[in-house]
Each structure stands twice: as C-alpha cells, then as structure tokens.
C-alpha cells in the first residue's frame, strides 16, 4: 500500500481501523481522517516504531525519501506499550539524526541517566567470570561528564518510544498505530 499524492499532506496517522464494508483502512488524523485502500501506495513500510523503526525512517528521510512515501506501523496504543526491550541504549547513533531529534540526550524524557560503569558476568555451574569497565566513551578513554562523550544510558522505553513518535510526526512521516491486522495484501 502506498499513499496517493493528491496534493494532500498525510501526516501522523494516529489510529486505524478496518472498514469491512469497503475493504479500506480509515486512519483518523484528527482532521477528518484519510483513507488507505488497495490503491494506496508507499515506497517503504516499516514495521515497529521503536528505536530501530524510527531510526530507519529518519535515515530514509536523510537519504531523500519523502516522508509521505514512508509508512511506520506500530500495534502499540500508545506507542511504546508493546516494546520488548529496554534498560540500556548503547552508542551515539541517534546523533546522526540531530536534524529530527535535536539534543535527544537531554530532551527525550525516556533517557534516565548516562552509564559510566559496565559490568558483564558469565556464569557456569561451577564458576563466574566478571568483566568490568569504567568509561563513558566507546574508545575507553576514561569517564567524562561531557555529554558528547557519553555512550550509554538507562532508558524507559515507553516514554522514549512515545517521544520518538512525536518526532516522527514533526518530520511529517506517515505513522499508523494500533494495526492489529495486516495492511498489505
């Protein structure tokens, strides 16, 4: 399915429901809604609006694909309610999307605190081995309070995913929530 270019800007697709009588999906945008049917067409459909899905959508925008040609589908209502992971965000890859996310480290309500002490354990029936590191940057140059050198954070995914959904809306990405049925035929 893709989006018809009828001069209409399709923004954040806040809820969707199947209209059985016409075989269409009605996406309520809050301004009368828009209809996705079998003739609706997208260049890219991304399943999941978590960090991976949102990052993929932002990367496609950076590479020049129009936001109304990208559909991000998530079955969570609200966004973030169906996440299967959480805890720690590793790396600074979100810096690549500053144009869309701004100062994500400071602005995202799901980012709790930076982590500068990492400890990993390997267990067997008879023994345990722990590897420990105290550093803030991936190159291991030592701890720092400089935000640009931090490399891992504790994250509350429900809050972080909801914030990412807001950023996708601001970037004019098409985003459908609460999709419990397949929308592709």
Q: What is the pLDDT of residues 53-65, one digit of tens each?
A: 899 999 999 999 8
| Residue 78: pLDDT band with limits 50, 70, 90 | confident
Angle between the 157-170 and 51-62 helix axes, to the nearest 10 degrees? 20
Given a cut of 90, whether residue 129 has pLDDT beyond it is yes
Which stretch of DSSP H or E encloses residue 100? Answer: helix 98-101
Q: 147 vs 8, which has greater pLDDT?
A: 147
Tell me the three state secondary structure of residue 170.
Answer: helix
Q: What is the pTM of this model?
A: 0.65
The proportion of the chain whose per-residue pLDDT surpasses 70, expressed as a percent, equals 63
Contact present, 48 and 74 (Cβ < 8 Å): yes
Please write the tens of the pLDDT for every residue from 16-68: 334 434 444 444 332 224 455 666 678 888 888 888 889 999 999 999 988 87
Q: What is the pLDDT of residue 150?
A: 73
Given a cut of 50, whether residue 5 has pLDDT beyond it is no
Cα–Cα dist 49/75, whole Å: 9
Cα–Cα dist 34/37, whole Å: 10
Mean pLDDT of 132-154: 63
Query: Which parts of 20-69 fold into alpha helices (H)?
Result: 51-62
Q: What is the pLDDT of residue 135?
A: 60
Given a cut of 50, whether residue 122 has pLDDT beyond it is yes
Q: 110 vs 9, which has greater pLDDT?
A: 110
Residue with tokens 């909801």: 162
Give, as one character, the DSSP assignment of residue 11: -
Contact present, 142 and 132 (Cβ < 8 Å): no
């Amino acid at each position: 399915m893709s989006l018809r270019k009828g001069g209409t800007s399709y923004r954040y697709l806040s809820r969707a429901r199947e209209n059985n009588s016409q075989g269409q999906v009605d996406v309520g945008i809050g301004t009368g809604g828009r209809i996705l049917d079998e003739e609706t067409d997208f260049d890219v459909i991304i399943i999941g609006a978590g960090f991976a899905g949102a990052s993929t959508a932002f990367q496609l925008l950076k590479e020049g694909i129009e936001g109304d040609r990208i559909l991000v589908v998530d079955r969570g209502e609200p966004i973030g309610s169906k996440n299967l992971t959480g805890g720690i965000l590793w790396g600074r890859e979100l810096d690549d999307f500053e144009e869309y996310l701004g100062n994500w480290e400071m602005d995202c309500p799901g980012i709790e605190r930076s982590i500068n002490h990492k400890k990993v354990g390997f267990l067997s029936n008879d023994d345990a081995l722990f590897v420990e590191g105290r550093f803030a940057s991936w190159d291991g140059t030592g701890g720092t309070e400089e935000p640009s050198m931090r490399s891992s954070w504790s994250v509350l995914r429900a809050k972080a995913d909801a914030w990412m959904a807001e950023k996708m809306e601001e970037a004019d990405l098409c985003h459908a929530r609460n999709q419990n049925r397949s929308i592709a035929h």
